[in-house]
Structure 1
């Protein structure tokens, strides 16, 4: 990274930080430079809330605010939090607000119950080496923490191809969708069917999800609904009412197409009050109602209840009066079908619907004329109110229907009856006899029973789609459950001062805001508890890059898991700081916010963990995403420029639907896995409260030789010369120095040259701060080194305050190539350590071969010593490829003599071995030896033997 060039400014006398909102320490502050002579009171702005003045870290009483501002003063005006009562201490709150800092291990307060999203605690950061991707800044998505709950979750009709369809997912979460997605809406109510004009119509109500949507396409499978003439639909926005049809309808499962049997003839005999009816295969049981029409005798016609069924062909009823003597005769018996309870306990119906089907049509065929005549079926429908236990709560209300037709085509009828609100039992009987002639179609079946329940047809803050579909050859019953919708969620957008009306958006920023703000399924947080300014800035970044979040939460997840998934699609992470939900994106940062060196790192606290690459370390990323062109899962393998793809690690990007975005994020994770493999941890004092999660810091320390550190002793403005407390090691090339300001920020790095001695630095440009020297205040700390080795740049991953006043910081090394890899720029890793390079896989260079003067069949090998090599391996083979290699020697020297095992056909290779083996370098003995070989034997051509070809 090239050093930043700053113009030479007019140095201010002092600085003043005004902190108007202590709950927003990183954004709610103002920095003022003081150039003119003034008093302390002149610096303090007019404020309507209590505030304090700090001078160089110490509080100043109001009685002393008339003191003059001294050159080099660092002032801070801090507004105090209000409210609390009960003896709350605002000053204590101010002093402890910095301790409420983001930490991956810190507790995240429960944010409220939800539908689809629930509050939870953020898990501790854990990153693994070996076969897993390493990215401590934006950890790759991982499996749900509650695997048992995940296993019991209803299959997703969006992401599970086997489950795609319109399902009634009982007890599942109402889906929450963000962005643009194709999905199969859930059934919001039980579908039902009716007949009209001998056509079957299916009524179904679908729930697209929570909130409002911009519907782009409504389809049956892949065909637009507009291509079907048999479908009528309406989109019901949140808070709207379904007007196309009654939505709350319950269909009885007991009615399943049983034929309504007509009257049958039998005989009877009565003795006393017991009347015994003989009817072959009557199929009646105790308590069933029958209608008896006595064709002979004086017994009264009417409805009776079966008292017993002694045999399959006889049953008894109790007559209202005893017969004077035994009497008998003929009787017509009509059996009821039902009664069936039309709906379950606790329901209130306002109408009852019945379906009837004449499966063979209704007709009578005249064999003599060949004409088809009409025939009728008459049925009696009885409705009786019942209570919650199913006991009768009133008498039967009877309706009579007659169906007449002269068609051999199956006929279907639906009837609906308005009733007083309540629960009902329904029964049906046929009142005319069924014709048994083979030339007549006279059957009638009871096909369906429905209760139209009392309700408002309003379903709250969800978007519904009501559909009325005619069953036809063009639209089967199976296809009716394949309704899918391409829609974009509408959300309010923050313009910096107010929220807009809901509008279609795919930006992750507004999905994050909605998950935090929504009181129904989100956390219900007030705007003051969300870092909206940061979200607005990120929204611009994501719009510029074309990044989106297009995801559907159709199973219950924790709020924090949902926020993590949304943020991860934009290379960001959410965290809580000071009771405020914040989001930080991993993106290029030029200036570190703080410098840490041995001067402010607690002794013995620095630790560095190296994730050393091994044979199982992933070298590429196998990215899975939900493609927006096919609306199906897709995969692609991403490799950093110049890398291989032999060991890809799987990465699932939930909410990513664009291939280019999936490729960019895969490249980012692949580069992070390759270049960010050092985890740095150290403890400091209150300086540790300066950086926050995701901030760039600089770490200078002599143990890993990350820069050289010293204190500023004297500063000469005119010559821009700084004398340090100890000498620096100067080498070839450019050198740079960075200064730590009074507020902890980093000034520089600035290009410097060697002065009169190794302690003296001459700045090419004047730094933008004046170094503190002498004993009046703490001297400025200086970090020095060649090129980029003046300090290690690192990204903060955790800040953990402790009760003893110390703060532990965890960070990971930064490398600019993590962000440039997606553009095709992937330079070598940044070298920041000034220690001698440790070569883990040393390389042999300058390999040469000649034959020995004493024995031409012996190869004399030599090469340049490889840095980091402990020894060298020498192998031979009869061919460059396809043949086995034989180990012929190991040596720690940079040369070796060995006999050629295969004569002119010998191939020799050499490799260096350090921590691991380096690459092989191969030569041909026949091509490299400095003499010629006979074509038919292995003897040298200048052999004194007369048979040698040289002498022929």
Structure 2
């Protein structure tokens, strides 16, 4: 790349005044159009102390890291790999010019081919002296012209056209999701009382919810024990023992007949649906539930770039998340991050934030991806799946017991989770008996199938 005449003139004089007498900072000339001077900017190079060329260009040239630019300092080209290690001096000329990529060259070549192949018939006709040409000869000339155009198009598309991505390069990792749970909560109904041993379908102790860890989705299910439940065993999803599934964690809490474990799952979570992001679009805003102490945003989508050879290349995009208390005006930044990916696999992320208890408005937006040519090959499509509000749960479950289940969505478990069933055993029951005398002796035993008289006897004995 050489400094063209327009760039030289732009540097030599600005507004008719020699540039060397305007300032000693140097100049930055940005030519965003590879073929014309449309949009060219000529500004002072406001270098900061210790600033590298890469940092300077990122401040002044949007999309500079796309690879579609050539950069020169004082007429010498600087490769992109060296930008972070190059430190310009004051007074130097920094020139940035967009370059044609193969897709643009392909269009130019096809236009030129159309123009020149269209004159073949006229050229041959002129070579024949412009004499009368029979209809058959005219057809031959048209066939030659058409043949030249087809052959040229094939050659141009072969050399400059994008290659079709191979099956291997487009292979995606299979993703799985769990969207629902078939156990129910039965709100405002009585808590069941257990006598003996029974195979049951437990009620939900709290609403199920899902989240992402890496690209895997997990589902939280917390089941309620019940009154007089001593222990639980033999859990199954449908008719399949739960131990037959991979990546399932079980936590028993509050059952007097077995060790109690803490349940590391939230038990009071509300969720509202998000929306699809528009690249470089406006904020998407959602309002959470009152009393939220944790806010979680689930994001899902694809991000990659395809080069002219059909290879999958990295792409990146900025994501900004802000929040404010309902009724206030000032937004606070929860996260400002860059999402990067170099495969066609679906990206899934859960962004979690601890906040002071309250009701919050949360908004998020996506920037413009680094590679954004508008073609069907590139992808930057993300959805805000849900906003979850985690609230404090003050319920005392110690009298009933709970079973916490953490399940990873997989090829074994996907879609709607079948009913979870368990075997519940009642607490040991005191039974009166008088084997050898008038005074009854009290003993502790288990009554597996109590008859009605057993209930009456227990009630009578207090």
**In the alignment, what sits opposite 2:212?**
195
Matched, 1:172 2:189: yes
Deviation string 1:910-941 (CA, Å, 9 cap, x unpaired) is xxxxxxxxxxxxxxxxxxxxxxxxxxxxxxxx
The answer to whether the 8 Å contact 1:209/1:463 transfers is: yes
Matched, 1:483 2:420: yes
Helix, strand or coil for the counterpart of 2:414? coil
Q: Which residue of 1 aligns with 2:169?
A: none
1:381 aligns with 2:344: no
Q: Summarize deviations over 1:202-222 as a string: whole Å, max 9, x none.
A: 001111322333324110111
Alignment of 1:57-76 (within 5 A): none
> Aligned equivalents of 2:316 and 2:241: distance in 1?
42
Q: How does 1:296-311 map to 2 (within 5 A)?
A: none
Cα deviation, residue 201, structure 1: 0.4
1:365 paired residue among 293, 300, 306: 306
Alignment of 1:881-900 (within 5 A): none
The C-alpha deviation readout for 1:257-299, integer Å capped at 9, x for no partner, is x211122xxxxxxxxxxxxxxxxxxxxxxxxxxxxxxxxxxxx
In the TM superposition, 1:5-44 aligns within 5 A as none
451-460 vs 466-475, which deviates more?
Answer: 451-460
Q: Distance in 2 between matches of 1:451 and 1:497?
A: 55
Kindly indicate whether the alpha-carbon contact (under 8 Å) linking 1:491 and 1:505 is maintained by their aligned counterparts in 2.
Answer: no
Are residues 430 and 504 of structure 1, via their aligned partners in 2, closer, same or farther at CA, if it must alter by over 3 Å? farther
Map of 2:287 onto structure 1: 341
Contact 1:381 1:429 survives alignment (8 Å): yes
Q: 1:504 to 1:223 in 2, by over 3 A?
A: farther
Asked whether the equivalents of residues 363 and 407 of structure 1 are also in contact (C-alpha less than 8 Å), the reply is yes
Q: Would you say the 8 A contact 2:305–2:379 is kept in 1?
A: yes
Instruction: From 228, 232, 235, give the equivalent of 1:211.
Output: 228
Separation in 1 of the partners of 2:340 and 2:241? 39
Note the alpha carbon deviations across 1:152-182, whole angstroms, 9 max, x for none: xxxxxxxxxxxx9411222222222222221
TM-score where L is the length of structure 2 = 0.53
Judge conservation of contact 2:194–2:229 (CA < 8 Å) in 1.
no
Whether the aligned pair in 2 keeps the contact of 1:205 and 1:464 (CA below 8 Å) is: yes
CA drift at 1:348: 1.8
Provide structure 2 residue ranges, at least 5 long, that are not aligned to the other structure: 1-180, 433-439
Q: List gaps (5 residues or longer) in structure 1.
A: 1-163, 264-333, 517-529, 533-580, 582-952
From 247, 258, 262, the equivalent of 1:243 is: 262
Count residues with an aligned counterpart.
271
**1:356 partnered with 2:299:** yes
The residue that corresponds to 1:467 in the other structure is: 405
Q: TM-score, normalised by structure 1?
A: 0.27
Residues 246 and 457 of structure 1 are in contact (CA less than 8 Å); yes or no, is this contact kept in structure 2? no
Residue in structure 1 matched with residue 382 of structure 2 by the alignment: 444
Once the two structures are superposed, residues 572-618 of structure 1 have per-residue CA deviations (whole angstroms, 9 ceiling, x without a partner) of xxxxxxxxx9xxxxxxxxxxxxxxxxxxxxxxxxxxxxxxxxxxxxx
Correspondent of 1:420 among 356, 381, 387: 356
1:232 has 2:266 as partner:
no
Check if 1:432 corresponds to 2:368: yes
Query: Is the 2:322–2:331 Cα contact (8 Å) retained in structure 1?
Result: no
Aligned CA distance change for structure 1 residues 404 and 209 (closer, same or farther; 3 Å): same
* Rounded Cα–Cα distance in structure 2 between residues aligned with 1:429 and 1:237: 43
Structure 1 residues 246, 259: closer, same or farther in 2, change over 3 A?
A: same
1:531 and 2:452 equivalent?
no
- Which structure shows the bigger proportion of residues in helix conformation? 2
* 1:696-726 deviation line (CA, Å, top 9, x unaligned): xxxxxxxxxxxxxxxxxxxxxxxxxxxxxxx
Say if 2:238 and 2:418, in contact at 8 Å, map to a contact too: no
CA deviation after TM superposition for structure 1 residue 196, in Å: 0.9
Flag the structure with more relative contact order, 1 or 2, with Cα contacts below 8 A and sequence separation at least 6. Answer: 2
- SS of the residue corresponding to residue 317 of structure 2 reads strand
Shift of the 438–472 alpha-carbon distance from structure 1 to 2, 3 Å rule, reads same
Structure 2 residue 291 is the aligned partner of structure 1 residue 260? no
The alpha-carbon deviation at position 377 of structure 1 amounts to 2.3
Q: Could you say if the C-alpha distance between residues 483 and 504 of structure 1 is closer, same or farther in structure 2, counting changes exceeding 3 Å?
A: farther
Q: How far apart, CA to CA, are the structure 1 residues paired with 2:397 and 2:213?
A: 28
Q: Aligned-pair distance for 1:237?
A: 2.1
Distance 2:447 2:182 in 1: 25
1:350 and 1:499, CA in 2 relative to 1: closer, same or farther beyond 3 A?
farther
In structure 2, the CA distance between the partners of 1:191 and 1:454, relative to structure 1 (3 Å rule), is same
- Please report how far the alpha carbon of residue 498 of structure 1 lies from its aligned counterpart in structure 2 after TM superposition: 5.2
Q: Secondary structure of the residue that 1:202 maps to in structure 2?
A: strand
Partner secondary structure for residue 194 of structure 2: strand
Could you tell me how far apart the structure 2 residues matched to 1:236 and 1:486 are? 15
* Aligned CA distance change for structure 1 residues 411 and 512 (closer, same or farther; 3 Å): same
Correspondence 1:715-726 to 2 at 5 A: none
How far is the alpha carbon of 1:248 from its aligned partner?
2.4
Residues 459/216 of structure 1: CA separation in 2 closer, same or farther (3 Å cut): closer
What's the CA shift string for 1:745-767, capped at 9, x where partnerless?
xxxxxxxxxxxxxxxxxxxxxxx
Q: Is the 8 A contact 1:366 1:372 kept in 2?
A: yes
Q: Match for residue 78 of structure 1? A: none
Distance 1:503 1:394, change over 3 A: farther
Change (3 A) 1:218 1:398: closer
